[in-house]
A and B are shown apart, each in its own frame.
Chain A
Amino acid sequence: MSIEVEVDESDLAEMVEQVWESYLDPEGVSPLIPTYDENQPSEVHSSVSITGSWTGHVVYASSRAAAVRAAAAFLAMDLDEVSEDDMSDTLGELANIVGGNVKAMLPPGSQLSLPQVNLTPESSARFPNTQRIGGVYGVWEGEPVSVSMWQSRIDNKEEGA
């Protein structure tokens, strides 16, 4: 059985803001500035899957420069100290945090997967039978960053059945 997702773009935006306040911009000097452009480019992405009352994916995507900046902020490093592993770990944790907060807004009983990290553009992501249902799209220090939700089409079919 499936339900209509209860998480809207303003909820996602609030979660993203909390992530920025907590880890990426604790001083409040470089927020994510909305672009509302769901087609903005990315070079890397990470995702977590949610199954249960709602089935889909939460995807964090950004340019490589934004991912390095995120890792530097997350890990309190200089930009030139950030390794590929640092960047991957940070991308995974960012997807995990936002995905976990999305799951918390769904009816109880959903499961959250461990994060998957791909150092490739979000456009290369393969989430079979899904459609993007919303997201937060912006630039951070001039670099593209997005967090989007992808819903399984199987859910939709069941709802319509």
Chain B
Amino acid sequence: MTPMRAMVIDDSRAMRMILKRIVTKLNFEAVEAGDGKEALDLLADMTEVPDLALIDWNMPNMNGLEFVTKVRADPRLREMTLVMVTTESEQSQIVRALAAGAHEYVIKPFTEGAMIEKLALLGLVPTGANS
């Protein structure tokens, strides 16, 4: 069976490592990008689109909201599940991200269990993967 693939997009290497650790534990193959632009460049070179992208909001060069907007405008990337993972926790920001096309929203700080539960709700990991 082909493993699921996840793209972890965050300008913080520390946060990328945390997220990568979680998705790897869930048997995803993970790739990293330091901002939205780098992520789009990587996606342009990929023959297989990742199943999931975990996206920070505040990043240099291209922020997470711009990235989500661009991904949603690209039919080739339509199937990718987009999850914002950010400290931006104002209701208005959550609404903006979801309106732009994000599927889910995780506010930092988050526990590993909370992240796994979100991914389970999206059907990307089996329910109970956290236990």
Instruction: List residues of chain A with CB under 8 Å of any chain B CB.
Output: 18-19, 21-23, 26, 71, 74-76, 85-86, 89-90, 92-93, 96-97, 99-101, 103-104, 108, 112, 114
Contact B109 A18 (CB under 8 A): yes
Which A residues are in CB contact (< 8 Å) with B21? 76
Q: Tell me if A's interface is mostly helix, strand, loop or mixed.
A: helix
23 contacts between A and B (CB under 8 A): A19-B109, A21-B111, A22-B109, A23-B18, A71-B14, A74-B14, A74-B18, A85-B13, A89-B14, A90-B14, A92-B14, A93-B15, A96-B12, A97-B87, A97-B108, A97-B109, A101-B108, A103-B88, A103-B90, A104-B89, A108-B90, A108-B92, A114-B11
Which chain A residue has the least Cβ–Cβ distance from B59?
A114
Selected from A19, A21, A22, A75, the residue in CB contact (under 8 A) with B14 is A75
The total number of A-B Cβ pairs within 8 Å is 65
How long is the Cα–Cα vector from A89 to B12 in the complex, in angstroms? 6
B60-114 with Cβ < 8 A to chain A = 60, 86-90, 92, 108-112
Interface residues in B1-21 (C-beta closer than 8 Å to A) = 11-15, 17-18, 21
Q: A99-B87, A114-B60 are in contact. Are A26 and B112 (CB under 8 A)?
A: yes
- B112 CB to nearest A CB, Å: 7
Chain A hits for B14, CB < 8 A: 71, 74-75, 86, 89-90, 92-93
What is the distance, in angstroms, from A77's C-beta to the closest C-beta of chain B? 9
Which residue in chain B gives the minimum CB-CB distance to A106? B90
Q: Which residues does chain A contribute within 8 Å of B87, judged by CB atoms?
A: 96-97, 99-101, 103-104, 112
Interface positions, chain B 101-131, Cβ under 8 Å from A, are: 108-112
Complex CA–CA separation, A105 to B88 (angstroms): 10
A26 neighbours in B (Cβ, 8 Å) = 111-112
- Which residues of the other chain, B, contact A93 by a CB distance below 8 angstroms? 12, 14-15
